[in-house]
């Protein structure tokens, strides 16, 4: 019989107690997806309590590899990692060092405050689920697109991982606030950077669509080396027109938090006064373009309010546009209440 090694993860307390209380099952699902990427087979993934403190527990046939610890360190809920030891008949916890992976200081997403902001730990989870479900890994030079970027939380979380992040946002005010914030942040942190604004679509001034793009690196030396620099870009336009902004097969991941039908909205056409808050309508309008700009083996992860649209409807739309929807466990275990008017879930689909 193979002797298994047990590890425990202490969940990040975060700053939102409501999210912490519902996040145990989400963390369990995220860990199960991550475990499929381990070099060492991962088993018996579960939630346990020790002295009334909640942990995520799992077992492996041998000690975790350096790569496995690197994957664990990036998960949204990880606060501390322990290996369970048996010393003189007593179970003891040995701390395992978490790998420092941050390209940009992880505090960035918590600094920008505004009504309706999604918890950044949930956003981080979405980014992880997308990558871990794709044919790519954290060492790939990832290009991520947020098609409904708002004020940039997904882009900032992607930048922490060292991904190149691009957002599309219909509201010029949100684009302005996000780009001003990011520029101030990298200036304060003394990152070497440059930024420019250029037209990427439109035949005349009235139809012109612009992108604001930052190139940046933590040091001057890194900025001189092309493969060590990173980019963050913001397009003030409509996700429905994504094909006119970017070439086919540009992005490894698409991650977006769709309008909840409460305080947010998206426009079906750029600068249109007609606002739709129905995620199924938006996906129907945009799915063809998203499919084309996503690389083969890439993954799209979208969050939405279940009270506004049924999951089966969104799955049907994505499937009809060529995506392979991942609906088996643990992908079926992300639904949770945010408040009485919002029950949030995510849908995960791969370009095959």
Question: What phi and psi, each to the nearest 5 degrees, are found at residue 306?
Answer: -60, -30
Sign of CA dihedral 143, 149, 272, 262: positive
Domain identity same for 89 and 191? no
Final residue of a structural domain among 72, 96, 120? 96
Residues 40 and 134 in one domain: no
Classify strands 342-351 and 230-236 as parallel, antiparallel or unpaired. Answer: unpaired
pLDDT surpassing 50 at residue 268: no
215 lies in a domain? yes
Domain that holds residue 335: 108-351
In a domain, 101, yes or no: no
Structure tokens at 314: 């969104």
Is residue 28 a part of any domain in this protein? yes
143-146 and 251-257 as β-strands: parallel, antiparallel, unpaired?
parallel
CATH number at residue 327: 3.40.50.150
Q: Does one domain contain both 87 and 112?
A: no
Do 344 and 243 belong together in one domain?
yes
Exposed/middle/buried for residue 257 (C-beta within 10 Å: 0-12, 13-18, 19+):
buried
Q: Please say if the pLDDT value at position 246 is more than 80.
A: yes
Quote the pLDDT of residue 16: 74
For the chain, how many structural domains are there in total? 2
Q: Which of 47, 71, 96 is the last residue of a domain?
A: 96
* 22 within a domain of the structure (yes/no): yes
Instruction: Note the pTM of the prediction, 2 decimals.
Output: 0.94
Q: Could you read off the pLDDT of 152-202 as tens digits, one per residue?
A: 999 999 999 999 999 999 999 999 999 999 999 999 999 999 999 999 999
Last residue of a domain, one of 96, 125, 155: 96
Q: Contact, 298 vs 252, CB < 8 A?
A: yes
145 within some domain:
yes
- Tell whether 161 and 59 lie within a shared domain: no
pLDDT in tens, 175-185: 999 999 999 99
Q: Does residue 103 form part of some domain?
A: no
Give Dmax (Cα) for the chain: 77
Give tens-digit pLDDT for 85-97: 999 989 999 999 9
Say which CATH number the domain at 45 has.
3.30.70
């Amino acid at each position: 019989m193979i002797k298994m090694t047990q590890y425990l993860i202490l969940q990040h307390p975060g700053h939102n107690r409501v999210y912490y209380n519902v996040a145990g099952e989400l963390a369990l699902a995220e860990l199960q997806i991550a475990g499929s990427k381990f070099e060492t087979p991962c088993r018996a993934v579960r939630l346990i309590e020790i002295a009334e403190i909640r942990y995520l527990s799992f077992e492996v046939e041998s000690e975790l590899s350096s790569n496995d610890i690197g994957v664990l360190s990036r998960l949204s809920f990880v606060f501390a990692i322990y290996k369970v030891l048996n010393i003189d008949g007593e179970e003891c916890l040995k701390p395992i060092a978490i790998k420092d992976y941050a390209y940009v200081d992880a505090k960035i997403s918590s600094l920008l405050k505004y009504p309706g902001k999604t918890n950044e730990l949930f956003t981080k989870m979405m980014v992880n689920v997308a990558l871990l479900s794709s044919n790519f890994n954290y060492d790939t030079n990832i290009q991520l697109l947020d098609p409904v970027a708002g004020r940039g939380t997904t882009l900032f979380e992607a930048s922490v991982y060292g991904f190149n992040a691009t957002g599309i946002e219909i509201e010029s005010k949100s684009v302005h606030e996000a780009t001003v914030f990011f520029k101030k942040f990298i200036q304060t942190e003394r990152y070497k950077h440059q930024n420019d604004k250029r037209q990427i679509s439109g035949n005349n001034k009235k139809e012109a669509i612009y992108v604001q793009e930052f190139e940046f690196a933590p040091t001057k030396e890194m900025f001189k080396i092309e493969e060590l620099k990173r980019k963050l870009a913001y397009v003030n336009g409509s996700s429905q027109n994504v094909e006119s902004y970017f070439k086919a097969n540009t992005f490894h991941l698409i991650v977006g938090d769709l309008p909840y039908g409460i305080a947010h909205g998206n426009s079906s056409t750029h600068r249109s006064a007609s606002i739709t808050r129905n995620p199924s309508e938006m996906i129907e309008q945009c799915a063809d373009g998203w499919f084309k700009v996503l690389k083969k083996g890439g993954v799209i992860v979208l969050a939405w309010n279940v009270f506004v649209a049924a999951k089966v409807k969104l799955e049907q739309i994505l499937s009809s546009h060529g995506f392979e929807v991942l609906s088996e466990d643990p992908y079926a275990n992300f639904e949770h209440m945010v408040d009485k008017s919002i029950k949030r879930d995510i849908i995960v689909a791969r370009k095959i």
